[in-house]
Amino acid sequence: MPRHPDPDAPFATSWWGNAWIGALEGTSLDAGRLARGRAYAREGHVDTITVAPGRIVAYVHGSRPRPYRAEIRMRTLTPEDWDNFLDAVATEPAHIAALLDKDMPHALVDAAERAGVQLLPGAGDLVPACTCPDHGRPCKHAAALTYQTARLLDADPFVLLLLRGGDEQALLDELAQRNAHRAAREQSATTDGASTATLPGTLARDVLSTTYRPPLPPPLAPPAHPGEPPLLPSVPGAPDPTSLEFLATDTASRAHAYLTTGADPFPTADPWYDAVRLAASHPGLTGRRSFSRQFAELARSVGHTPADLARAAAAWRQGGEEGLAVLESPWDPPAGPFDRARGALITADLPRMTIHHNHLTNASGSLQLRYGRDGRWYPYRSEPGQDDWWPEGEADADPVGAVTGMIGT
């Protein structure tokens, strides 16, 4: 969510939003963590919030590059609770009007409590969880999520009802039915069995029935960037949410590429190629030897180590399938641009390089250029003398450009 527009303004302006914050602050035993959570929330460290029955989830950015997954849980209402709540609301038309106007007056909450239903959380009702190593309850990331949620509650009290397990449209439909039944009973009691005249009219199905169907509007232009999937909650027995989010992100990216370029979204059926392509855009890849659990599982699924997959993903980022071929398949290029490359490097006062297949390597064994069948030079780097080559930098049609882009001169 964006940075708070006014650093001095309270997080909640509605009384129910403040009650939500009160439940958080009544649970915490550490004022310092709450203060850091407020600062994180005001500075916009909380990503998009996903609300589901019984839980709210969001990624929260901390001091490390990878964000943490924060979650707040709250007990949902039972079917009997919802039945009592709907009866309490339906008896007072003003309550229905308030909900439709995104308002939650004290009278509505009081009526629910008289029916034995507690809508707002009390101290201890909010259960925080986070993937960070801090075991505070709540940690600063979960506190930031809770403070930001108060802004959602301010704008729409149905967020609270969804947390309690109630869908907005289903609740409004049920309220409409109960209100209609109540009005019918009152009308029946008023007429006391007297017959009423039937007004003339036409059935709606007769008015709307037609064989004419207007043409569909032209499709909308594709967006500038692929969309992002919602943050999925962790549910016992369900698939891992981070894996699902990863696959959904890849699907959106393929669909966007197909809509904007017409490129085949499934260019190869080879599992290794597909795994490398996925890994090349994996958000958990942070370095040569730092991998997320999902990344390691992806490597094992195609019979490779995480390091193998990370190296191949770096090559894919350099040049797609051709970049991977340069990594995996040495070849002997014909005379021509490849032979002239060493002279161009010497003229540019760059290190003298030896030839082996399509590789040019400097004397210390730390820099290497690989010539691709697409006519481009792919830069590689290794620790001196270790023969552990990793793609580094961008491929270039000019060997001098490829080297200088890698060494920064």
Closest CA to 37 of 65, 58, 14, 19: 58
- The C-alpha atoms of residue 146 and residue 26 are separated, in whole angstroms, by 13
Q: How would you label 213-252 residue by residue, b for 16+ Cβ within 10 Å and e otherwise?
A: eeeeeeeeeeeeebeebebbbeeeeeeebbeebbeebbeb
pTM, two decimal places: 0.51
Name the amino acid, one letter, at 168: E
Tens-binned pLDDT, residue by residue, of the chain (409 aa) = 556 656 667 778 888 888 888 888 877 667 888 889 888 988 889 998 999 999 999 999 988 878 899 999 999 999 999 888 888 888 887 887 888 788 888 888 888 888 888 888 887 888 899 989 888 788 999 999 999 998 888 888 888 889 999 888 888 888 888 877 777 777 666 655 555 556 667 677 766 666 667 788 888 888 888 887 777 777 788 888 877 877 888 888 888 888 888 877 777 678 998 889 888 876 555 455 556 777 888 899 999 998 999 999 999 989 888 999 999 999 999 888 888 888 898 888 888 899 999 999 998 999 999 999 999 999 999 998 888 999 998 899 999 999 988 887 5
Closest CA to 30 of 145, 134, 150, 153: 134
- 377 DSSP β-pair partners: 371, 396
Model pLDDT, residue 286? 46
Is the separation of the CB atoms in 150 and 11 below 8 Å?
Answer: yes
In this structure, how many other beta carbons lie within 10 angstroms of the beta carbon of residue 101?
A: 10
Cβ neighbors of 112 (< 8 A, separation 6 or more) are 84, 85, 88, 89, 118, 119
Closest CA to 386 of 355, 407, 364, 402: 364
Cβ neighbors of 132 (< 8 A, separation 6 or more) are 62, 68, 139, 141
Name the amino acid, one letter, at 57: V
Model pLDDT, residue 305? 92
- The C-alpha atoms of residue 56 and residue 130 are separated, in whole angstroms, by 12
- The C-alpha atoms of residue 45 and residue 61 are separated, in whole angstroms, by 5
- The C-alpha atoms of residue 17 and residue 140 are separated, in whole angstroms, by 19
Distances (CA, A) of 206 to 198, 199, 209, 213: 18, 17, 5, 16
Model pLDDT, residue 398? 93
Please return the burial class of 376, using the count of CB atoms within 10 Å of its CB with bins 0-12, 13-18 and 19+. buried
